[in-house]
Amino acid sequence: MESQYNLRSPAVKRIMREAQELREPTEEYFAQPLEDNLFEWHFTVRGPPDTEFEGGLYHGRVILPPEYPMKPPSIILLTPNGRFETNKKICLSISGHHPESWQPSWSLRTALLAIIGFMPTHGS
């Protein structure tokens, strides 16, 4: 897959570094890029403990813009979860819905932990 991307691109370098860092799953999440598209990732997060989501596994997609990490990812949850609409881009400060609040120092790990953290909160 690497040969199809410009390895000098800041976005590609960053995404490949994050892919290496996220290679091993944790108790809370697992994420990896598609085999044929470095800019689309699939992830699974575990529902946070001591909440109505505990024990649940929630699958989703992350679409990274070509300008990543200068622009935020779009995040779509695919598993019905009662918090975020399925198959629609979620609206969080770490997502493409709020580019004004995105920080380039944030990563996919940051986004996954934010999803877990926001699950038990009530949306507006």
Indicate which residues carry an active-site annotation.
91
Helix segments in the chain, DSSP class H: 10-21, 108-118
Q: Could you tell me if 96 and 68 are in contact, meaning their C-beta atoms sit under 8 angstroms apart?
A: no
Tokens of 89: 């881009």
What are the beta bridge partners of residue 57?
Answer: 46
DSSP state of 101: G
User: Considering only CA atoms, which of 97, 95, 99, 110 is closest in space to residue 29?
Assistant: 110
